[in-house]
Amino acid sequence: MKSEWLQLDGLSADLADLYRDLHQHPELSLQEVRSARLLAEALDSAGFEVTEQVGGTGVVGVLRNGDGPVVMLRADFDALPVEEKTGLPYASTTRATDAEGHDVPVMHACGHDMHAVCLVGAATLLARTSDTWSGTLLVVLQPAEELARGARDMVEDGLFERFPRPGIVLGQHVAPLPAGFIGHASGPVMAAADSAAVVLHGRGGHGSRPEATVDPVLMAAHVVTRLQGIVAREVPPAEAAVVTVGRLQAGTKDNIIPNTAELGINVRSYSPEVRALVKAAIERIIHAESAAGPAPQPPDIVWTHSAPLLVSDPEATAATVAAFTDHFGPQRLLPMPLVAASEDVGVFGEAADVPTVFWFWGGLDTETALAALSSGNIDSLPSNHSPHFAPVIEPTLTTGVQALIIAARTWLA
């Protein structure tokens, strides 16, 4: 591969400045107005046809460069309600109002700012070297990944009707791996995710007279305990799943039995069969415990957020990883286990009915991360969603830009 395709000379400083800007001014999912404007301006300056407000705050750039395949490069750019504790000079002090009206701190704790800047960098360099390839680049900057809805919002807003339909979807995620390294897997890569909001109904009253009430808190406690038996006793041992009750809220005072109890449930799974089994078991248990309550009315169960199983197409992944190996060398490639976290990038490939290739790349200080990996002390490293997680700018930025360019060049003519 010709080295000029991958040279960031003269671009690195601008990309680093854009990264620090986005990191210092994060925006929650569905609120990414400023970030979208900056990213759209960067793509416009690189020569792309730019469309904003696709599926909300999404940005799409198209670069038509003669006959050839349509290759889609995707990155997300929303942030999280996390208070940053990195101590960086460009750390976020931003606060915002979330969807429930709460004032919350905001931080790019998952590296989406790095994702977006690397995509801008790759798009810029591919545009500058357009005399060396042909085809069409479809650059998609997606909002609201943390809600597992941004990809579907863009598809439902006509992404593949309004813009060229791709032959392949390429994406990456910065991870708690050594900076400069690429993590790869084939087939299932990240879990399917489903979230449910549950309301259990009781009959409130004085805590001193429980016999005159129906206690939804007791119902909720039984539900939480019983749900833990699904994976242990209903999912086959050769399969994997996670059931988490991350939210349980009820009551206002210790001597008042409330009318309702609310639960927030999250599920991770790796096959359609297990996904259906677990969701059905959750509903069965909630209804059964409610009936045992005995609740005065059936529970409310609403499945709110959903992301499909992320599958990195084996054949397309093999070709892409071979190109990575050729450039980075085998010593900088790390095979990855199944990841229980989820990503909605799979919605794009699923909707377009084309292969998706997805990989990880490292963002932590290389020496520190390698030492932790070699000693088996991985838990000492800050992970995505941690208030201490912020990728080192280099070599994370250069590696992320180069990986996207190499992957795109693998599929362009």
The whole-number average pLDDT for the span 158-186 is: 97
Give pLDDT, residue 4. 67
Q: Which of 26-40, 205-219, 354-368, 377-391 has the lowest mean pLDDT?
A: 377-391
Q: Are residues 271 and 376 in the same domain?
A: no
Backbone angles phi, psi at 203, to 5 degrees: -135, 110
For a pLDDT cut of 70, what percent of the chain falls above it? 99
More confident residue, 407 or 338: 407
Q: What is the pTM of this model?
A: 0.90
The whole-number average pLDDT for the span 173-186 is: 97
Q: Are residues 8 and 145 in the same domain?
A: yes
How many CA atoms, within 13 angstroms, populate the side-chain half-sphere of residue 298?
A: 7
* Residue 173 CB-density burial (10 A; 0-12 exposed, 13-18 middle, 19+ buried): buried
Give pLDDT, residue 349. 97
Q: Are residues 73 and 113 in the same domain?
A: yes
Q: Are residues 115 and 197 in the same domain?
A: no
For a pLDDT cut of 90, what percent of the chain falls above it? 93
Q: Are residues 333 and 391 in the same domain?
A: yes
Q: Are residues 154 and 165 in the same domain?
A: yes
Q: Are residues 92 and 60 in the same domain?
A: yes
Structural domain ending residue among the three candidates 306, 321, 340: 306
Q: Which two tokens stand for residue 70?
A: 């349509």
More confident residue, 6 or 298: 298
Distance (Å, whole) CA 166 – CA 186:
20
The whole-number average pLDDT for the span 166-192 is: 97
CB atoms within 10 A of CB 226: 16
Q: What is the arrangement of strands in the sheet containing 333-335, beginning at the earlier edge strand? A: 49-54, 58-65, 135-142, 70-76, 168-178, 356-364, 182-184, 333-335
Q: Are residues 151 and 32 in the same domain?
A: yes
In terms of Cα–Cα distance, which of 27, 23, 272, 320 is closest to 145?
27
Structural domain ending residue among the three candidates 272, 306, 340: 306
127, 128, 130, 135: CA torsion to nearest 10: -10
Non-local CB neighbours of 107 within 8 Å, separated by 6+ positions: 26, 79, 80, 82, 83, 84, 92, 94, 387
Report in angstroms the alpha-carbon separations of 389 from 28, 105, 399.
Answer: 17, 15, 18
Confidence of residue 76 (pLDDT cuts 50, 70, 90): very high
Q: How many whole angstroms from its chain centre is CA 68? A: 30
The residue type found at 403 is A
Question: What CATH number is given to the structural domain containing 88?
Answer: 3.40.630.10
pLDDT above 70 for 345: yes
Report in angstroms the alpha-carbon separations of 81 from 95, 107, 175, 242, 386.
Answer: 8, 6, 19, 23, 11
Distance (Å, whole) CA 35 – CA 235:
42
Question: What CATH number is given to the structural domain containing 207?
Answer: 3.30.70.360
Helix, strand or coil, per DSSP, at residue 248: strand
Q: Are residues 99 and 7 in the same domain?
A: yes
The whole-number average pLDDT for the span 18-41 is: 98
Distance (Å, whole) CA 66 – CA 59:
23
Q: Are residues 268 and 373 in the same domain?
A: no
Domain span holding position 46: 3-191+309-411
pLDDT above 50 for 1: no
Structural domain ending residue among the three candidates 291, 306, 321: 306
The whole-number average pLDDT for the span 252-259 is: 97
Distance (Å, whole) CA 196 – CA 348:
23
Distance (Å, whole) CA 190 – CA 311:
7
Q: Is the peptide bond before 395 cis (omega within 30 degrees of 0)?
A: yes
Q: Are residues 245 and 321 in the same domain?
A: no
Q: Are residues 218 and 286 in the same domain?
A: yes
The whole-number average pLDDT for the span 352-373 is: 94
Give pLDDT, residue 3. 64
Q: Which two tokens stand for residue 51?
A: 């469309």
pLDDT above 90 for 374: no
Helix, strand or coil, per DSSP, at residue 389: coil
pLDDT above 80 for 5: no
pLDDT above 60 for 180: yes
Mean pLDDT, rounded, of the chain: 96
* Count of structural domains, the chain: 2
Contact status, residue 80 vs residue 385, Cβ threshold 8 Å: yes
Distance (Å, whole) CA 230 – CA 121:
45
Give pLDDT, residue 357. 98
Q: How many whole angstroms from its chain centre is CA 147? A: 8
The DSSP-derived string for 257-299 is E-SEEEEEEEEEESSHHHHHHHHHHHHHHHHHHHHHTT-SSPP
